[in-house]
Structure 1
Amino acid sequence: MRANYKMQRLYVTSDLAKSAGVAATPDAVNYLANVLRLQDGDEILVFNGRDGEWRAALRFESKKKLALEPLERTRDQPETPDLVYCFAPLKQGRLDYLVQKAVELGAGILQPVITQHTQVARIGTDRIEANAIEAAEQCGVLAIPQTREPLRLEKLLEGWDVSRRLIFCDEGHDTHNPLPALQSIPRGPLGVLVGPEGGFSEQERQALRKLPFVTAIPLGPRILRADTAAVAALALIQATIGDW
């Protein structure tokens, strides 16, 4: 069945099965009861990233206690997208946007990467996970991307699976057209690497270009903010060699 985007969607951590009540968290109770003003017997869609999407009825046991009763599976659980999205962390507002759009555009793994020009010293993976869940709730996504701990760029490349093509956005590329490079990549496992606000250093660019599993692409003639570049890169890759 197609997702019913008119119904409120809620991510839960509990297993989902027919008539097996799921206790709502205090935050969820407050949101459903006080913000959305839903009442006993109203229905929403729930998912946990494992058991598909379910239509569930609200069963209020008190003002602060709510059970969600799964009634019917509306969509089966799809496979998690096989796209590793590597990004240099940004300041909070831009990072939130970047993560949300990455989820919408099919990232299966979110991998923060520390580069020479990365300006954010501390990275909250909890916040990244929360933004990924929020994006999934809003956009009908069922497979929640895995959030990994930050790695320095050198460590990322040392441990990279060479059977997975890594596409990196190279602002110093000698052409503006990304399509020839993308169209030359055979379909298969992919990773995407987007740099920080200051871009990759020349040393990093040269190191990346020497690796046989790396493909460099430009993003056109315009100077883009890092979060804009992230969205542009994912859209180009999905449109050209993506999972459709």
Structure 2
Amino acid sequence: MSTPRLFLDEFLAEGAEIPGTPAQAHHLGTVLRRAAGDAVAVFNPRDGEFAAQIVALRKDRCVFALGARLRAPRDEPDLRLMVAALKRDALDWVVEKATELGAGVIQPVFTRRTVVDRVNGERLAAIARGAAEQCERLSVPEIRPALPLHAALDAWDGAPLLVAAERRGAMPVGRAAAGLSLPCGWLVGPEGGFDGAELDDATRRPFVTAVALGPRILRAETAAVAGLAVLQALAGDWTAN
């Protein structure tokens, strides 16, 4: 039986007793059928990961006693995803996979062809937290409030941002990514692609480069994951020993 990992945004130290959240208590007791005395691991990017034991578990309350530190904190890659607000299942899937791929920031955006008009940030944050617990990373991506595309671009800090532009005759994404280093970002449009005028507006910005993902037209969620994988492989922490 695998040891559950739990993200706790509290100060973690050997010997401390730390309360969990009601959602964690429910998950441990009702879903995983754990009980007081069972082992867990708790983590955050500030303090690292610690072995722990459940010392109290009720329907909506749990407490953990922390043991030895298993992993020290480490720098996480500053890899960012800006993605058009997709339908619920597709966006949920993108957030889960982007977390597994090491994205540190996920910024949903509204475009002219976006088919949804709201994003449930709390649900996406919970999905990201669960994915981080499963994939053994120490951090949880920041899920930023959804913004219109132009507003998100206006607020961008100038780090290189590659945008999937499948019909622009753009350079291959591998060639563009090979010259990058983190921080950098990946921008993907909605199911119907970007409107021509909004793509023109994006690519006029000096930090934006249009790139192509090969000869096939990809679904938006596929493009999001494929681009992040390329950036991790060529500019991110997949290059580390």
Question: How does the TM-score come out when normalised to structure 2?
Answer: 0.90
Give the corresponding residue for 1:228.
222
**What CA deviation, in whole Å up to 9, does each residue of 1:178-216 have, x standing for no partner?**
322322x33242011111111111112222232221111
The answer (yes or no) to whether the contact 1:48–1:142 under 8 Å persists in 2 is: yes
Match of 1:238 in 2: 232
Are 2:7 and 2:42, in contact at CA under 8 Å, matched by a contact in 1?
Answer: yes
Select 1:208's aligned residue among 185, 202, 207.
Answer: 202
Q: Is the aligned partner of 1:24 residue 2:36?
A: no
Secondary structure of 2:99's match? helix
| Cross-structure match for 2:3 | 7
Q: Partner of 1:172 in structure 2?
A: 167
Determine whether 1:99 maps to 2:70: no
The counterpart of 2:188, out of the listed 174, 190, 194, is: 194
Aligned position for 1:85:
81
2-side partners of 1:45 and 1:98: how far apart? 26
- From 27, 30, 37, the equivalent of 2:33 is 37
Deviates more, 1:196-205 or 1:34-43: 34-43
* Per-residue CA distance 1:94-113 (angstroms, 9 max, x = gap): 11100011111111111111
Q: CA deviation at 1:147?
A: 1.7
CA deviation after TM superposition for structure 1 residue 77, in Å: 1.7
Q: What SS does the corresponding residue of 1:131 show, helix, strand or coil?
A: helix
**Counterpart AA for 1:233:** G
Query: Pairwise mapping of residues 50-89 of structure 1 onto structure 2 (< 5 A)?
Result: 50-60=46-56, 65-89=61-85
Give ranges in structure 2 of 5+ residues lacking alignment: none
Secondary structure at the aligned position of 2:187 is classed as strand
The alpha carbon displacement at 1:51 in A equals: 1.6
- Pair 84,63 (structure 1): closer, same or farther in 2 beyond 3 Å: closer
Cα distance in 2 between the residues matched to 1:84 and 1:26: 30
Paired letter, 1:47: F
Q: Number of residue pairs matched?
A: 238
Shift of 1:69: 0.4
> What are structure 1's unaligned runs of at least 5 residues?
none
CA 1:202/1:61 → structure 2, altered by over 3 Å: closer, same or farther?
closer
Residues 125-180 of structure 1 deviation map (CA, whole Å, 9 limit, x = unaligned):
11111111011011001111112112211122223222x11111111132684322
Residue 196 of structure 2 aligns to which amino acid in structure 1? E
- Between stretches 111-120 and 168-177, larger displacement belongs to 168-177
Q: Percent identity?
A: 42
Tell me the distance in 2 between the aligned counterparts of 1:62 and 1:136.
Answer: 24
Q: Give how far 1:52 is off.
A: 0.9
RMSD: 2.1
| Contact 1:80–1:145 (CA under 8 A) maintained in structure 2 | no
Tell me if the contact between 1:176 and 1:220 (Cα under 8 Å) persists in the aligned partners: no
CA distance in 1, matches of 2:213, 2:57: 54
Per-residue CA deviation, residues 74-93 of structure 1 (Å, 9 max, x unaligned), is 01122232122111111111
2:17/2:64 contact within 8 Å kept: yes
CA distance in 1, matches of 2:184, 2:172: 20
Q: Which amino acid aligns with 2:161?
A: L
Distance 1:222 1:61 in 2: 51
Assess, with a 3 A threshold, how the Cα gap between structure 1 residues 153 and 45 changes in structure 2: closer, same or farther. same
Partner of 2:129: 133
1:60 alignment partner, SS class: strand
Structure 1 186/230 Cα, relative in aligned 2: closer, same or farther at 3 Å? closer
Q: How far apart, CA to CA, are the structure 1 residues paired with 2:217 and 2:63?
A: 50
In structure 2, what residue type is equivalent to 1:69? Answer: A
